[in-house]
Structure 1
Amino acid sequence: MIDAPKTDTHVSTHEAEEDARNEDILIYVDGELRHRREAVVSVYDSGFMLGDGVWEGLRLHDGTIPFLAEHLDRLYEAAVYIALDIGMSRAELTRAVFDTLAANGMTTDVHIRLMVTRGRKRKPFQHPHLSIYGPTVVIIAEHSRPREDLGQRGIRLHTVPHHRGLPLTQDAKLNSHSKLNCIIALNHAVQAGADEALMLDPFGFVNTTNACNFFIVRRGEVWTSTGDYCMNGITRQKVIDLCREHGIPVFERNFSLVDAYGAGEAFVTGTFGAQTPVAEIDGRPIGSGGAGPVTRRIRELYKALIRREVEAAGAASG
């Protein structure tokens, strides 16, 4: 008898409901829309060869991409930092995104990965001057709805020895294709039986997960890291702004694992999952083990913010 494969009990903040439509999506590759089986880039591409590129994750809600301007700001700022000419204006790139969505008949519950690399190289070495063919731009849009159960029961985190480094090594604010540090951290957490990794900053303070920004709730106060060593998350900033607007005490500060273990609630933020509760850290249950009252309130405030974005976009286009 052949043993049945083991069931993978691990989840992530990017868990989505299965959608068969994704088997036939069209993907934008350098100005062309190609079926996913034919959407390829060269083995000489800088992104494949060296992780030399930047990207953004976007969400489509009822025909609107909330906070698109902020996402493009971050993308173009990162491109300037790594001296990468995207080769398209913001308007051209925006049109390419919406053309990809239209070609796939997509209107809502879509996750978009927008990627730009330094492009195909003449020789397989790292010098940027070898990338002589111009940038590679890829847009992958998938039907993708976050799993409802994950938003209730939460994820398990494990603290790993791999930290988010100083800006003089690789600035965590860069949403770069070079994700190996985070992948190593995630593998460590999964091998420990958790879902994702909790990463510390260079001084041992709690910082972020391998994929999302991290928050705790203590005595009604919302705490997150100083932001010095984590991705400058757009959803993270929206949560901070919403807390300030609605009278929820929120602090960007240094805090340790002692504070995290003793928190009444914890959650992570990201474009895909918005706010996902944390059920346990290093085997220690956090609060009731799911979404607590403050987390639930923030989620409702965030949903209302998304609705306002959609309504404003509709009014502008009408």
Structure 2
Amino acid sequence: MGKGTHSYVADPRNDTVIIDVNGEHFARHEAKVSVFDSGFMLGDGVWEGLRLHKGRIAFLDQHLERLYRGAKAIAMDIGLTKAELTQRLENVLHANGMTGDGVHIRLMVTRGIRSTPYQDPRVVISPATIVIIPEWKDPVPETATNMLNLFTVHVRRGYPDVQDPKLNSHSKLNCITACIQATQAGADEALMLDPHGFVATCNSTHFFIVKNDEVWTSSGDYCLDGITRGMVIEIAREAGIPVFERNFSLIDVYGADEAFTTGTFAGLAPVGMVDGRVLGTERGPMVERLQGLYLERLSKEARS
């Protein structure tokens, strides 16, 4: 079971969930890709995590835009239009009888099957591999109020000319090693710095602090352009809350009034401790307010 913001309620229905592999439906235990697939062999691909809210995939347009933008950046042809891919998503949700809430979807696209274990895309011999895994998956109820414990790790978010952090690729080893270090330190998640020592992001979520009724998050130069991150910035500004995307250091974090993370799965989750410094023992008023505004935006999205 996931930890921290990814702790979820186990659901036995997932034992028999139907998965889409290249447009065909398979039972969970029968869903497979080739050992020559680019994703398995090299981590060559892009992906999105999606949530079903009141029968609709939340912020689908934004997620697909990021997916196709990432594919274009690595010169990978998804092979489907956005409308065709959306239809595949809807088909597999229908096949599983998923019509309401509590569903998480992992949409994965890799460059396809290679003729031999080699990184050059010119050895790819098939169209892109597209896998859709929908699961009955709700965060544990206490995620909205439990105070997360973060640990700043030595693993940095890298320069864009090494591996651009804005690319939501299958190559996640730097985030995994960050997660391992945080776990071994007894924390829920890793806080990662950028190459200049400023706060960048967490290993699987985005990070915000609250100081003097202002909301701060990183400049965005060294983190994924998170959909939930962007929505929180937007709804806060609409509500008249000052939000700043800027460089800030751990000193700012340790002195913050509140802190929280954002992500598709759990939305907003409060942070109580960073590197042993206690920021708060219970959810603060700004986090609670933003959680409410975010849920309102989700409901509005479902009605549109």
After TM superposition, the score normalised by the length of structure 1 is 0.94
C-alpha separation in 1, matches of 2:276 and 2:288: 23
Tell me what 2:256 maps to: 263
Give the C-alpha shift of residue 94 in structure 1: 0.2
SS in 2 for 1:69: helix
Equivalent residues in 2 for 1:221-300, closer than 5 Å: 221-287=214-280, 289-300=281-292
C-alpha separation in 1, matches of 2:19 and 2:282: 36
Could you tell me which of 129, 141, 163 is aligned with 1:136? 129
Could you tell me which of 9, 25, 30 is aligned with 1:17? 9
Give the C-alpha shift of residue 243 in structure 1: 1.0
C-alpha separation in 1, matches of 2:7 and 2:115: 38
Give the C-alpha shift of residue 14 in structure 1: 1.3
Equivalent residues in 2 for 1:6-45, closer than 5 Å: 11-45=3-37
Give the C-alpha shift of residue 90 in structure 1: 0.4
C-alpha separation in 1, matches of 2:161 and 2:168: 15
Equivalent residues in 2 for 1:85-124, closer than 5 Å: 85-107=77-99, 108-124=101-117
C-alpha separation in 1, matches of 2:24 and 2:254: 49
Tell me what 1:3 maps to: none
Aligned residue type for 1:181: N
After TM superposition, the score normalised by the length of structure 2 is 0.98
SS in 2 for 1:215: strand
Identity %: 56
Cα deviation, 1:34-90, whole Å, max 9, x if unaligned, reads 001000101110000000000001100111112110100000000000000001110
Could you tell me which of 66, 71, 75 is aligned with 2:67? 75
C-alpha separation in 1, matches of 2:225 and 2:35: 31
Where in structure 2 are there 5+ consecutive unaligned residues? Answer: none
Tell me what 1:212 maps to: 205
Give the C-alpha shift of residue 132 in structure 1: 1.0
C-alpha separation in 1, matches of 2:200 and 2:303: 34
Cα deviation, 1:181-226, whole Å, max 9, x if unaligned, reads 0000110111111111000011000110000110000111100000
Matched, 1:158 2:134: no
C-alpha separation in 1, matches of 2:201 and 2:57: 25
4+ runs of 1 displaced by more than 2 Å? Answer: none
Give the C-alpha shift of residue 121 in structure 1: 0.7
Give the C-alpha shift of residue 174 in structure 1: 0.6
SS in 1 for 2:248: coil
C-alpha separation in 1, matches of 2:28 and 2:284: 40
SS in 2 for 1:161: coil
Q: Is the 8 A contact 2:192 2:200 kept in 1?
A: yes
Tell me what 1:5 maps to: none
Cα deviation, 1:251-289, whole Å, max 9, x if unaligned, reads 1111110110111110000111110111110111112x2
Q: Is the 8 A contact 1:11 1:155 kept in 2?
A: no
Tell me what 1:199 maps to: 192
Tell me what 1:59 maps to: 51
Where in structure 1 are there 5+ consecutive unaligned residues? Answer: 1-7, 313-318
